Amino acid sequence: MLDIALIRERPDWVKAQLAKLFDDETPARIDKILELDERRRELRTRIETKQGARNRLNRAMGKLRGNRQMNDGTKSGLVLAATAALKRDDTDRALAILEGESATDAADDDGFQAAFDGLIAELRAMGQGIDDGFAEAKTIESELEAQMLWIPNLPHDSVPVFESEDENVAGVPVGEFREFDFEPKPHWELGPALGMIDFESGVKLAGTRAYVLRGWGARLQRALISFFLDSARDNGYTEFYPPFLVYGEMLYGSAQFPKFKDTVYGLEGEGKFMIPTSEVALTNLHRDEILEEAELPLNYVAHTSCFRSEKASAGRDVRGIKRVHQFEKVEMYKFTTPDNSYDELETMTRQAEAICAQLEIPFRRLEIVSGDLGFSASKKYDIEMWSPGCGEWLEVSSCSNTEAFQARRAKIRYYPGGTRKTQFVHTLNGSGLATPRVLIAIMENYQQADGSIVVPEALRAYLGGASVIDTDQA
RNA sequence: GGAGAGGUGGCCGAGUGGUUUAAGGCGAUGGUCUUGAAAACCAUUGUACGGUCUUCCGUACCGCAGGUUCGAAUCCUGUCCUCUCCGCCA
């Protein structure tokens, strides 16, 4: 979520930033937000003043009623005078009387209860407009909130401004492209031949985009997950195992909701949803908390399954295991101070690249252009591995700095420099890495003419020392 | 699934309709003392929103949402969550 104050104070600048996203829906929302914000503030100022007066009057009346030093007659006199003042709409005078600045004529004791009843009637009348005002304010505020939740994050100045993902700036590929003396096969041929991937069973159990890993396939994936987690731990990340099924609020916190609600699986009745990425769980670990500055940055890592309906990409990448409903991902996550977040983004991206390098698979970094940033990132790098079988670059990691966008939604703050004023932290997320795709890259890069697959050095320790995957028993 | 208990500031915890404008403690911060530290003592110390954006004022917030009342942390209703015991199951 953006800072409402920023929108209020620099609406044209915000619109210019949003224009870089080539999203023609948001400018109208900004205008709507400005209007709602204006109405909200005008209304609140008005009713809060009135409410303040009512609160003071009520308090003063309560105090007066319980006053043991004063006799009933004197009290009645004050109350009658205050009531008269209120009838003339002279709130200040009524307050002055009740709060003891001036006494008036004593009435007789018999009038005590009647005097208070008269005042209460005045106060009741005074409350009429106030309740309606608060109700209206609440309506406006929830409308405002709903609009705010649809505004995407603003791009960082360093992000290249282009509309299409085709313009993403590709870095120089790292690693050696292997020379094949045979035609490299795609994983959807290699997998079934080696008994590693069973597409038929996947479809039988769960339909399109479902798959079963078998034998070496399942073991290789497990090895990769362990390898990824260990790498992250070596880099100082603390490992977590979070729930995969979380409350809907968490998805608002990490900004999948409301925009991408129809791409997430869940139990609407229970208000719980399957996470599309561990980022959802990790972000919300510190929801509603004020963190200690000294403990920042927090570096977390988690392996979870991820669930995505892929509604937006229906019909695309239906072959193989590149785009599936359920996959495994190891996610790095950082909570940082605003000052350090961009340095941390570089660090995190390099860490993801280092994993690719250790697997000895050619990879490249893409600097994502403004039009392809997605909803919550201010800046994003993708890392792609080369897949000689299907002949394409596969996105295996995506590293983003969301700045305060998620932190503001999830209310994750800290006190900067010992001050008393809270500030939102910055949050970063980056895959390190995602398995079905790395599995593809390994199979296709390490395949041999006879259809067997060489195990990358870095993974052998996780597979009992095995160096080759073939049709032998896994 | 059944029965019960409970949700109050960073933490613990008091508070059964108006002198509560959330006591007290812990922690934290500043100060006094000290060669330094500890201890002791003194002071300060919630969040959000708004206001001529000021260490000034106002409003809201005691799980959440409604309701009663002139006035609700306190009473009523609903709801969510946590804990304990029992039952069932891996």
Quick: pLDDT tens for A379-412: 999 999 999 999 999 999 999 999 999 999 998 8
CB of residue A49 closer than 7 A to nucleic acid strand B?
A: yes
Strand B contacted by A59 CB (< 7 A)? yes
List the A419 CA – B7 C1' distance (angstroms).
Answer: 31
CA of A420 to C1' of B10 (A): 13
Q: How confident is the model at residue A68 (pLDDT cuts 50, 70, 90)?
A: low
Round to whole Å and give the CA distance between A355 and A458.
10
Q: Strand runs (DSSP E) across A116-234, as ranges?
A: 169-170, 197-198, 212-213
Question: Over 50: is that where the pLDDT of A323 sits?
Answer: yes
pLDDT at A105: 46
pLDDT tier for residue A50 given thresholds of 50, 70 and 90: confident
Alpha-carbon dihedral angle through residues A156, A161, A162, A167, given to the nearest 10 degrees? -80
A408 touches strand B (CB under 7 A): no
pLDDT value at residue A93: 80
Per-residue pLDDT at A223 exceeds 70:
yes
Q: Could you give the ipTM of this predicted complex?
A: 0.84
A461-474 mean pLDDT: 87
Rounded average pLDDT over A45-50: 86
Taking alpha carbons only, the member of A303, A301, A279, A328 closest to residue A435 is A328
For the annotated catalytic residues of A, the residue numbers are: 308, 323, 395, 398, 437
A177-191, A259-273, A394-408: least confidently modelled range: A259-273
Q: Please give the nucleotide, over all strands, whose C1' is closest to the CA of residue A130.
A: B59
User: Which of the nucleotides lies closest to A288 (Cα–C1')?
Assistant: B47
Lowest mean pLDDT among A46-50, A222-226, A280-284: A46-50
Q: What is the mean pLDDT of chain A?
A: 89
Q: Tell me what pLDDT residue A270 has.
A: 81
Highest mean pLDDT among A44-58, A67-81, A221-235: A221-235
Distance measured from the CA of protein residue A346 to the C1' of nucleotide B26, in angstroms: 41
Supply the DSSP symbol for A433. E
Helix axis angle for A91-98 and A72-87, nearest 10°, is: 170
- Which one is predicted more confidently, A85 or A371? A371
A12 vs A79, more confident: A12
**Per-residue pLDDT, A242:** 92
Answer for A67: CB within 7 Å of strand B.
yes
Asked if strand B comes closer than 7 Å to A50 Cβ, the answer is no
Say whether pLDDT at A72 is over 90.
Answer: no
Backbone dihedral angles phi then psi of residue A21, each to the nearest 5 degrees: -85, -5
Q: Inform me whether the pLDDT recorded for A293 exceeds 90.
A: no
The predicted-structure confidence for A89-122, as pLDDT tens digits, reads as follows 778 788 878 776 444 444 455 566 777 777 788 7
- Residue at minimum CA to C1' distance from nucleotide B45: A420
For A443, phi then psi, to 5°, come to -60, -45
Quote the CA–CA distance of A350 and A337 in Å, as a whole number.
20
Q: Which of A229-233, A294-298, A407-411, A440-444 has the lowest mean pLDDT?
A: A294-298
pLDDT-wise least confident of A93-102, A132-141, A451-460: A93-102
Residue A63 CA, nucleotide B71 C1', distance (Å): 11
CB of residue A95 closer than 7 A to nucleic acid strand B?
Answer: no
| Least reliable range by pLDDT among A249-263, A329-343, A410-424 | A410-424
- Strands of the A392-401 sheet, one edge to the other: A169-170, A363-367, A379-387, A392-401, A426-434, A326-336, A298-307, A238-240
Q: What's residue A59's pLDDT?
A: 77
Does the C-beta of A124 come within 7 A of strand B?
yes
- For chain A, give the percent of residues with pLDDT over 90: 61
Distance separating alpha carbons of residues A142 and A372, to the nearest angstrom? 30
Residue A129 has pLDDT above 90, yes or no: no
Check if residue A419 sits with its Cβ under 7 angstroms from strand B: no
Question: According to the model, what pLDDT value does residue A45 have?
Answer: 86
Question: Using CA atoms, how far apart are residues A370 and A378, in angstroms rounded to an integer?
Answer: 9
Query: pLDDT tens digits for A238-253?
Result: 999 999 999 999 999 9
Q: Which nucleotide is nearest to A62 (CA to C1')?
A: B18
Question: For residue A97, what pLDDT is reported?
Answer: 80
Q: If you average pLDDT over residues A9-18, what whole number do you get?
A: 92
Give the residue nearest to nucleotide B18 (CA to C1'): A62
Give CA–CA dist A361/A387, Å, rounded: 9
Q: Which nucleotide is nearest to A48 (CA to C1')?
A: B59
Interatomic CA distance for residues A330 and A350, integer angstroms: 15
